[in-house]
A and B are shown apart, each in its own frame.
Chain A
Amino acid sequence: MNRLGCLSINHRSAPVEIREKVVLSPQDFRSLCSRGEEVYALTTCNRTEVYWIGIDEHALLKHMASLSGVSGESLRGYCEIYQGQEAIRHLFMVASGLDSLIIGENQILGQVKDAYRQALAAGTTSTFLNKALHRTFRTAKRVRTETSIGRYPVSVASQAVELACHIFGDISAGPVLIIGAGDMAGIAARRLKDRGAGDLCIINRTFSAACDLAAELGGKPRSFSALKQELLRCAIVITSTGSPTPIITRAMMDDVMKQRRNEPMIIIDIAVPRDVEPEAGKCYNCYLYDIDALKTIVDKHISFRQEETDKALAIVSAEVERFARWAGSLDAQATIRDLFFLMDEYIASEMGANSLEPGHAAIVEQKLRSSLKRYLHRVASYLKEHPTLTNIEQTRRIFQLDEDYQDRHKG
């Protein structure tokens, strides 16, 4: 376990200028994994992490420096380094979204899995890291199902999607109108696209900007003059323009809702100053949320997630402990000792099952013990000569010696 190391360059330790340079994939570490060493690399927009077994930390930093173009010295300054149990705890926390910028976000688990697929394809992981990653997925799943950490949306766009789903059930079927093509509108539109919005329509005063965003998202650009026409068609509206006065008024909405024959509509106004007159929200079947309303809700959700963090950390600690027990069992001497304990157990059960006369019993037990010892000795010798993690793991698997075997035996 102590051979496990982790080097993390993340949103806390490094600015984006550094993070964007250190973009690594498991393929980049193939050359370091020639003699049983293992490497797993994960890169997301907020972090680059490298986990390793059997590699010198300095050699790894040097390798990363050569790949990223950032000097080794400065790279070290931007790194968080973890060893042993702390490294595995960090991996579990990362995959569970507990180390994310937004606590509890669930995209990270998919990214951890993708990076693992790449590592398997590149052949840079083996017994130890394979087990570590499988345990990571299990831990992340437990955190997600046993706590409510990811239950409520914590971004304005996600909250908008969530509200729309509560009204319409499915956002993929209906058209979605995005008014504005700036940063906020773009983020919201991307999030809607990610959540399955199929028919996106983008309206902006500068038509070329609408065309750019529409091209990026596979949507349809419309000129600003088509606003009312699109309001009649779309049930979900997200607006974020720089207009100093409201672009959607109560009178306009009265007319729109009349022509829509009161078909429900949700308007998310994330612009400051607001794009929609607050009175427009009073139209029948029109659900209007402005940035303040959404921010209040999102803040509540964030504090709720923080409350759930303690539960999640307890799960992570339990899983780290469990993994540490497994890693502790990956020792040749411990495995040989377990094998002989197993033999004792077997002899005792056999002798207990067959009631023999005391004189005969001692002879039979002695014979049984010596023959079993002879066979086990071969396995023990092989393990002593080749104490690789794979051999130890396979031996334990063949003889069904799980990580709790010693504890149970002692118990």
Chain B
Amino acid sequence: MILWAVILFYALTGLFFITYLFWRKRPVVLFARGLFLASIAVHILLTLSLAGPAHRIPLASPVQAVNMMVLLASLVFIFFAFRRQTAVLGAFFLPVAGVALGMIAPRLQANGTTLPVMFQTWYPLHTVSVVAGEALFAVAFVVSVVYLIHEGIIRKGRLHWTAASLPPLRLLDRILSACLGTGFVAITAGMLFGALWASSLGVDLSQILMKIWAGAAMWLVFAFSLHQRFAIRWSGRRTALITIAGFLIMIILFVGVNMAYPGAHGAGLTR
């Protein structure tokens, strides 16, 4: 029930931000910001309700991870929403957030019985870091899409009136860079914590080999993007394209691996 309320809130907020994209009136953005804050409040309530009777971080399943990823990305976008130049980014993020939550809605459940592996120190460190990194990559993905749209308009030279609402390319590039850098650090740390967790449990790595390869592939894509950026200053369009590709790979691997290894963070590891 709360989940549907969250989806409804996100959809409404998205509509207001889309309106603001075309009709730049102050009351519209003020209302959109207010609604966004309310959406996040309801989403936090939902996430708390997923913690279950043992009050564990609700990251015990891929579905819960998606929910947390959307919440963390929303927290980043609320920061943008309160900046004049970046407020319209909400128009691009909120529909994606709504769709993501809509897709997990039928399977989202509160934590049930707490498994012993969840009491390991590495577990929350691993899951929170990875999900935070993925949330930042999601932000980078949305910013990349906006960058490519805006750049396309500028290349044509016809500054259509919606273009006036979009943030300048240089600003988008800076946001992209910051999200990629921070996200990469978080995901690298998360992978290390995951390795330590698995090793402390004495897990047979061959059981989760595909998961390791998938994580490494995603890590390499973003590492390549950051390397190109800092070593030979690939900024702008190329970074945006790599980010979009990297994010899509991340989604495919996330879905694929979790289908192949259901419960890898819970029962799977205790086998």
Which A residues are closer than 8 A to B by beta carbons? 148, 151-152, 159, 162-163, 165-170, 261-264, 284-285, 287, 289, 293-294, 296-297, 300
Residues of B within 8 A of A287 (CB): 154-155
Residues of A within 8 A of B171 (CB): 169
Residues of B within 8 A of A159 (CB): 157
**A262-B234, A287-B155 known; A165+B168 contact, CB < 8 A:** yes
For A153, the closest partner residue in chain B by CB is B159
Residues of A within 8 A of B169 (CB): 166-168, 264
**A166-B150, A261-B233, A262-B235 known; A293+B168 contact, CB < 8 A:** no
Bound form: Cα–Cα A264–B174 in Å: 13
Instruction: From A151, A262, A285, A293, give the contact of B161 (CB < 8 A).
Output: A151
- Residue of A151, A152, A166, A289 most packed against chain B (CB within 10 A): A166
B236 contacts the other chain (CB 8 A): yes
Instruction: From B157, B170, B236, B237, give the contact of A289 (CB < 8 A).
Output: B157
Bound form: Cα–Cα A160–B158 in Å: 11
Report, nearest first, the 5 A-B pairs whose CB atoms are least far apart: A169-B168, A261-B233, A262-B233, A297-B157, A167-B169
Bound form: Cα–Cα A133–B44 in Å: 55
Instruction: Say which size band chain B's interface belongs to.
Output: 20 to 34
Bound form: Cα–Cα A264–B234 in Å: 11
For B157, the closest partner residue in chain A by CB is A297
Whether the pair B168, A163 counts as a contact (CB closer than 8 A) is no
For A266, the closest partner residue in chain B by CB is B154
Bound form: Cα–Cα A165–B153 in Å: 13
**A167-B169, A169-B85 known; A148+B234 contact, CB < 8 A:** no
Whether the pair B154, A166 counts as a contact (CB closer than 8 A) is yes
Whether the pair B150, A293 counts as a contact (CB closer than 8 A) is no
Residues of A within 8 A of B234 (CB): 262
B238 contacts the other chain (CB 8 A): yes
Whether the pair A264, B163 counts as a contact (CB closer than 8 A) is no
The smallest beta-carbon distance between B47 and chain A, in angstroms, is: 35
The smallest beta-carbon distance between B186 and chain A, in angstroms, is: 27
Residues of A within 8 A of B167 (CB): 169
Whether the pair A163, B154 counts as a contact (CB closer than 8 A) is yes
Whether the pair B154, A263 counts as a contact (CB closer than 8 A) is no
User: When each residue 233-271 of chain B gets 1 if its CB lies under 8 Å from chain A and 0 otherwise, what string results?
Assistant: 111111000000000000000000000000000000000
The smallest beta-carbon distance between A216 and chain B, in angstroms, is: 29
Bound form: Cα–Cα A350–B23 in Å: 49
Bound form: Cα–Cα A167–B159 in Å: 12
For A163, the closest partner residue in chain B by CB is B154
Whether the pair B157, A163 counts as a contact (CB closer than 8 A) is yes
Bound form: Cα–Cα A284–B232 in Å: 12
Residues of B within 8 A of A294 (CB): 157
Whether the pair A167, B161 counts as a contact (CB closer than 8 A) is no
The smallest beta-carbon distance between B230 and chain A, in angstroms, is: 10
10 A–B contacts, CB within 8 A, in A order: A148-B161, A165-B168, A166-B163, A166-B168, A169-B168, A287-B155, A289-B157, A296-B157, A297-B157, A297-B159
For B167, the closest partner residue in chain A by CB is A169
The smallest beta-carbon distance between B132 and chain A, in angstroms, is: 28
Given A285-B236, A294-B157, 7 other A-B contacts at CB below 8 A? A163-B154, A163-B159, A166-B153, A166-B154, A167-B154, A262-B234, A284-B237
For B233, the closest partner residue in chain A by CB is A261
Bound form: Cα–Cα A330–B236 in Å: 63
Instruction: From A152, A167, A261, A284, give the contact of B168 (CB < 8 A).
Output: A167
Q: Which of B124-179 contact A (CB under 8 A)?
A: 150, 153-155, 157-159, 161, 163-164, 166-171
Whether the pair A152, B159 counts as a contact (CB closer than 8 A) is yes
The smallest beta-carbon distance between A6 and chain B, in angstroms, is: 35
Instruction: From B157, B164, B232, B238, give the contact of A293 (CB < 8 A).
Output: B157
Bound form: Cα–Cα A170–B157 in Å: 18
Whether the pair B236, A264 counts as a contact (CB closer than 8 A) is yes
For B234, the closest partner residue in chain A by CB is A262
Whether the pair B159, A300 counts as a contact (CB closer than 8 A) is no
Residues of B within 8 A of A163 (CB): 154, 157, 159
The smallest beta-carbon distance between B139 and chain A, in angstroms, is: 19
Residues of A within 8 A of B161 (CB): 148, 151-152
Whether the pair B235, A285 counts as a contact (CB closer than 8 A) is yes
Residues of A within 8 A of B163 (CB): 166
Residues of B within 8 A of A169 (CB): 85, 167-168, 170-171
Whether the pair B159, A284 counts as a contact (CB closer than 8 A) is no
The smallest beta-carbon distance between A174 and chain B, in angstroms, is: 10
Bound form: Cα–Cα A118–B223 in Å: 64
**A165-B168, A168-B170, A169-B171 known; A300+B233 contact, CB < 8 A:** no
Residues of B within 8 A of A261 (CB): 232-233
The smallest beta-carbon distance between A396 and chain B, in angstroms, is: 34
For B158, the closest partner residue in chain A by CB is A297
Residues of B within 8 A of A165 (CB): 168
Residues of B within 8 A of A262 (CB): 232-236
The smallest beta-carbon distance between B234 and chain A, in angstroms, is: 7
The smallest beta-carbon distance between A230 and chain B, in angstroms, is: 20
User: When each residue 101-140 of chain B gets 1 if its CB lies under 8 Å from chain A and 0 otherwise, what string results?
Assistant: 0000000000000000000000000000000000000000
The smallest beta-carbon distance between A148 and chain B, in angstroms, is: 7
For B171, the closest partner residue in chain A by CB is A169
Residues of A within 8 A of B153 (CB): 166
Residues of A within 8 A of B236 (CB): 262, 264, 284-285
Residues of B within 8 A of A148 (CB): 161
Bound form: Cα–Cα A278–B30 in Å: 45
